[in-house]
Amino acid sequence: MTVTNDTTTSDYLKSLQSATSGKTGDSTTGSSTLGKDSFLQLLVTQMQNQNPLDPQDNSEFVAQLAQFSSLETMQNLSTSVDAIGGMYQSSQALQASSLVGRTVVVDAGSTSVDTTKGITGQAVLPNSSTVTQVKVYDSKGEVVRTLDLGEQKAGNASFTWDGKDEDGNVLASGNYSFVATAALDGKSSTVKTYLPATVSSVTMGSAGTAMTLNLADGSNVALSKVQQIGI
């Protein structure tokens, strides 16, 4: 913004200094970014100090009003975004409190198993399989049980392990791995498994990141990777 009357320049500068210093709210004390209130005061000051013989051009005045409107819109938008961010954080906290202690089904190869209750999982088959098996490994990497699922159609094939070895002995509870294989197009291929796991805690996501579920077996998974939430 400019002043065309030299005799009023000092008054205008004094008004600028008064409008931009010692204020709170839209602008902080001292040198700072102007807020919408200060911007409007400067605009009014310019009008008061313009040369009556050479007043401000209408197009310049309209352009400055447009700048003021844009500034106010951006500030309102920033406030709205901050409010939405706060609501999102609150929503995440509510989700976290409801998931702790519950069982989720995730894309995983291992999980913590209470062998007195057994476990039910799913093998994901992209095509029909003539021979489908799931091998159960203990924490030492040894095969303790082989589950024969036989011929299966494309989709999710359910399997259940009762927590026992091949001889019918109940094994100790702990972490076990499950490797599913299927005969696809005449070739034996490893397929992914969905396993249930208990959520022990939740790590809140920061800006731009998803909430992470910490599972009982020590692993973690993003909330977006959860296939199913149970009791």
How far apart (Å, rounded) are the C-alpha atoms in residues 153 and 129? 6
The predicted model scores a pTM of 0.58
Beta strand 110-113 with 119-125 is: unpaired
How far apart (Å, rounded) are the C-alpha atoms in residues 67 and 85? 27
Contact predicate 123/161, CB 8 Å = no
Contact predicate 182/135, CB 8 Å = no
Phi, psi of 87 (to 5 degrees): -65, -35
Mean pLDDT over residues 103-127, rounded? 92
Report residue 191 as tokens.
């397929």
Q: Which residue has the higher pLDDT, 44 or 201?
A: 201
- Which amino acid is located at 22 in the chain? G
What is the per-residue pLDDT for 36? 62
Between the CA atoms of 204, 99, 94 and 209, what dihedral angle is there, to the nearest 10 degrees? Answer: 30
Query: pLDDT confidence of 61, banded at 50, 70, 90?
Result: low
What is the per-residue pLDDT for 7? 41
pLDDT tops 50 at residue 26: no
Tens of pLDDT along 129-187?
A: 999 999 999 999 999 999 999 999 999 999 999 999 999 999 999 999 999 999 988 88
How far apart (Å, rounded) are the C-alpha atoms in residues 72 and 28? 17
Tens of pLDDT along 67-84?
A: 767 767 777 787 777 777
**Segment of 4-18, 31-45, 120-134 carrying the highest mean pLDDT:** 120-134
Contact predicate 36/26, CB 8 Å = yes
* Percent above pLDDT 90 for the chain: 36
Which residues, 6+ apart, have CB-to-CB distance to 224 below 8 Å? 210
Please give the domain boundaries of the chain with CATH numbers for all domains: 6-97 (no CATH), 103-229 (2.60.40.4070)
